[in-house]
Structure 1
Amino acid sequence: MLRELASILGLFRQPPQDASGGDRTLVAQLVGLLVEVRAAARSNKDFTTADRIRDRLSQLGIVLEDRPNGTDWSWD
């Protein structure tokens, strides 16, 4: 489902350093949303979904770091 959404929206077609400022902001907001969805999945002990989100973001060059106060993310 998340792949389909990203595909429909045309996300991640260009490397982040080549994205315009507006595109980069939108991508950052969407990644933040996915991090929130992943946190909710983890909270509900739906580790399959949480792992799928983490793995897919990793394939797209986004690294998630779980910390005691939440999850940080960065470009790989």
Structure 2
Amino acid sequence: MTCVDSQMQAPASLHTQAAPTRLGRLVRMVKDAPALVRQRVALRHLDDRLLRDIGLDRASARAEAERPFWDGPNWWR
């Protein structure tokens, strides 16, 4: 290996991440939806003590648990 070879870098395209496309967001939503549904079901079944531990009241937990799976977190958008 020469000095030049050891200084080679990956193309710039490997260092930058393309903006998510609509199809990419849809694929991620479909892939993550089952986990989101499980988390919301679990949230619905937490008792008041556990809800306090995570900083939620019963009404907020219920509202989050009742959201449809396609209404996911902001990072999906």
Q: Same fold (TM over 0.5)?
A: no
Which protein is bigger by CA-based radius of gyration?
2
TM-score (norm 2): 0.34
Higher strand share: 1
Q: Which is bigger in relative contact order (C-alpha 8 A, separation at least 6)?
A: 2
TM-score (norm 1): 0.35
